[in-house]
Amino acid sequence: MAPAYKLTYFNITALGEPIRFILSYGGLEFEDNRIQFENWPGIKSSMPFGQLPILEHNGKVSNQSVAICRYLAKQVKLVGKDDWEDLEIDAINLPHTIMSKMKKIKESKAIPLFSEIIPPYLEKLDAVAKKNNGYLAVGRLTWADLFFVGILDYLNTMGKRDLLADYPNLQTVKKNVLEIPNIKAWVEKHPKDNL
């Protein structure tokens, strides 16, 4: 029987990896459908929303990586214990901040973003992680942590640096996520991007 979930994304980590992390965390089997960049122009118009990632489940399909992460987090219990905690997780607004910065990078091809614009943001985030005992919200593991650590390698590759070098509490977040057995197993099976 085919796995219940099918994720379609490019053959890189980037916006696909947080989704893969959450699926792996919960032990949800999924088809990891990876599109080669050279094939994308021929496929794009056949995709329901013209962009990746997309998630297929029970004959339905949806797009938008953050929305997909939030959905899967509910399935694998990486959400808050009540609506207000979910608000706190949403309010750190990490995915959208990262994604809007990534978009800027694409538009400007400007590496200075990594040396000038991102550090003040990481500084604030480091303080948040300190307050939350090595997690990004509500004092324990949530999908916000998996999103952050899932996308980190890609950001480091783009920035050509270890973005967390000066942020010990964010290093703890990273360690806390990568030590989860299911995540560790996933990362070991899947090599880093070769961009």
Tokens linked to 91: 């309010």
Establish how many alpha carbons lie within 13 A of residue 44's alpha carbon, considering only the half-sphere containing its beta carbon.
8
58 touches a copy of itself (CB under 8 A): yes
Write down the least CB distance from residue 60 to a copy of itself, Å: 6
Judged by CB, which is closer to a copy of itself: 96, or 106?
A: 96
Q: Alpha-carbon distance 165 to 128, whole Å?
A: 17
Q: Which residues neighbour 188 within 8 Å (Cβ) at sequence distance 6 or greater?
A: none
- Residues between 81 and 110 with contacts to a copy of itself, criterion CB under 8 A: 83-84, 86-88, 90-93, 96, 100, 103
Other CB atoms within a 10 A radius of the CB of residue 136 amount to 28
62 touches a copy of itself (CB under 8 A): yes
Judged by CB, which is closer to a copy of itself: 39, or 100?
A: 100
Give me the residues that bind a copy of itself (CB under 8 A), please.
57-58, 60, 62-64, 66-68, 70-71, 74-75, 83-84, 86-88, 90-93, 96, 100, 103
